[in-house]
């Protein structure tokens, strides 16, 4: 999810937050220590050249990312901003860009040898502003000693065999490269040599071959019913003002997606609760806490099984960032609020451009177990780590470290995976050029951290 889309949040969700705060909650899961053992940075201004056979329109990107969505032809002529109203801050980077922006990353999968597959999501935060952003998969390798991240190769997704059943941006071309106006890929898994992606716009599940060519696009089903967002290509607007029914709010499709160790099952996780039309609000528990669905998907039949679990948000309006299993049925889920920036630099009084109007307050990784749910299917949060209070006794922080700690105060933290029995890797999505959580007036880089979290991984 991108800050560009936060304005679409329902007032009903905000009202539920107050009700949930007054309700009786389960005991808070124990917070375990997270110790920094590596920190590597990929600079914000990192770009990839489009393929030689790509249409000329992809030589530049973010041409439609301005405030009015009108095309901007002159590169580096518009300043990136974050925040809203009187709290708008410049990020210090200008667009449109020459080339394809490699960031921000919104899904991670270890592939051995200290390397990871990461994905660039839809581009610039919305279907409408990303038709010139190509969908990409990168293989990267953090160098913890040098503090740098190498981009080893980049693969561009395409649909040359016309497997996507609706019109795409490059419909008339032979190669049919995919863009952020077609899908918003937010999670990735490798099953054999095929890739599976979770998408927010449909939401859909997408299967490609090893070269990134689409093989399958699967419509989402939950409780035996279709799940569609307002960006679903099969929805049509009425000829006169009136309601349009959909089941998932904008930017609340699949954000995380875990896979079983045998590769037979996927577990895509929606970022927002399914919409309850009768209540005019997302699905909640008895106390009013928003519930997000983890759906079960059978890879062999390419169908949703009908089984699901429910993840309860700490505060309504929060989002999840990623979901990966660490062994068996146990998995890690990032939960985050919509704030960015250090609370020590919060605005005092009226919001201003030289402070954080809504600083980060909750950025956590929770441990859950699909085999540990209550009678209503709600997952128990076994424990967590606080990404705003990472211990750094060895002074490993490359930027943002202070007094032996490192904070990860980014609005979107969308990558988490197990490295070994003691460590996990976490990375932010820097929303180029629309986020500045590390500093008030500087665009965030893409940061990877290696965290020792033995106690969390062993918690029961």
Domain segments of the chain: what residues? Answer: 30-233+245-458
Percent of the chain whose predicted confidence (pLDDT) is above 90:
88
pLDDT at 234 over 60: yes
pLDDT of residue 85: 87
Over residues 365-393, the mean pLDDT reads 98
pLDDT at 26 over 80: no
Percent of the chain whose predicted confidence (pLDDT) is above 70:
94
pLDDT at 407 over 90: yes
- Kindly indicate the confidence band of residue 346, based on its pLDDT and cuts at 50, 70 and 90: very high
- Kindly indicate the confidence band of residue 1, based on its pLDDT and cuts at 50, 70 and 90: low
Specify whether the CB–CB gap between 432 and 99 falls below 8 A. Answer: no
pLDDT of residue 20: 40
Over residues 127-155, the mean pLDDT reads 98
pLDDT of residue 249: 93
pLDDT in tens, 261-313: 999 999 999 999 999 888 889 999 999 999 999 999 999 999 999 999 999 99
pLDDT in tens, 201-219: 999 999 999 999 999 999 9
Q: Which among 245, 244, 246, 271 has a CA at the least distance from the CA of 257?
A: 271
- Kindly indicate the confidence band of residue 14, based on its pLDDT and cuts at 50, 70 and 90: very low
pLDDT in tens, 420-440: 999 999 999 999 999 999 999
- As a CATH number, domain 30-233+245-458 is 2.115.10
pLDDT of residue 11: 36
pLDDT of residue 23: 40
């Amino acid at each position: 999810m991108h800050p560009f889309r936060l304005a679409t949040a329902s007032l009903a969700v905000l009202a539920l937050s107050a009700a949930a705060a007054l309700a009786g909650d389960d005991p808070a899961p124990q917070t375990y220590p997270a110790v920094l053992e590596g920190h590597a940075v990929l600079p914000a201004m990192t770009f990839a050249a489009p393929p030689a056979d790509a249409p000329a329109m992809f030589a530049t990107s973010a041409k439609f990312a301005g405030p009015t969505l009108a095309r901007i032809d002159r590169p580096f002529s518009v300043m990136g901003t974050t925040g809203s109203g009187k709290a708008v801050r410049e990020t210090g980077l200008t667009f449109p860009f020459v080339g394809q922006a490699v960031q921000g990353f919104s899904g991670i999968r270890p592939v051995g040898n200290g390397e990871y597959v990461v994905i660039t999501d839809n581009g610039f935060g919305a279907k409408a502003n990303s038709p010139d952003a190509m969908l990409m998969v990168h293989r990267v390798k953090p160098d913890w000693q040098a503090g740098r991240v190498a981009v080893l190769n980049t693969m561009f997704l395409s649909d040359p065999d016309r497997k996507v059943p609706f019109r795409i941006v490059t419909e008339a071309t032979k190669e049919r490269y995919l863009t952020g106006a077609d899908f918003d890929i937010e999670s990735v898994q490798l099953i054999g040599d095929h890739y599976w992606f979770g998408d927010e716009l449909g939401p859909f599940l997408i299967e490609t071959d090893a070269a990134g060519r689409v093989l399958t696009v699967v419509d989402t089903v939950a409780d035996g019913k279709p799940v569609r967002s307002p960006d679903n290509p099969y929805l049509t607007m009425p000829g006169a003002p009136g309601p349009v029914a959909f089941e998932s709010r904008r930017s609340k499709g699949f954000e995380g997606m875990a896979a079983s160790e045998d590769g037979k099952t996927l577990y895509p996780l929606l970022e927002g609760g399914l919409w309850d039309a009768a209540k005019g609000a997302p699905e909640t528990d008895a106390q009013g806490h928003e519930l997000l669905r983890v759906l079960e998907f059978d890879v062999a039949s390419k169908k949703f099984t009908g089984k699901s679990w429910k993840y309860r948000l700490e505060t309504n309006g929060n989002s999840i960032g990623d979901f990966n299993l660490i062994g068996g049925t146990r998995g890690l889920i990032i939960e985050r609020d919509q704030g960015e920036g250090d609370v020590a630099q919060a605005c005092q009084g009226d919001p201003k451009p030289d402070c954080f109007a809504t600083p980060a307050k909750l950025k956590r990784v929770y441990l859950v177990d699909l085999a540990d749910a209550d009678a209503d299917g709600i997952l128990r949060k076994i424990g967590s780590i606080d990404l705003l209070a990472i211990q750094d006794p060895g002074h490993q922080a490359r930027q943002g470290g202070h007094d032996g700690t490192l904070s990860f105060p980014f609005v979107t933290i969308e990558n988490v995976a197990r490295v070994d029995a003691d460590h996990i890797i976490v990375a932010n999505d820097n929303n180029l050029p629309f986020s500045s959580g590390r500093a008030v007036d500087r665009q965030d880089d893409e940061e990877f951290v290696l965290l020792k979290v033995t106690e969390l991984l062993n918690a029961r």
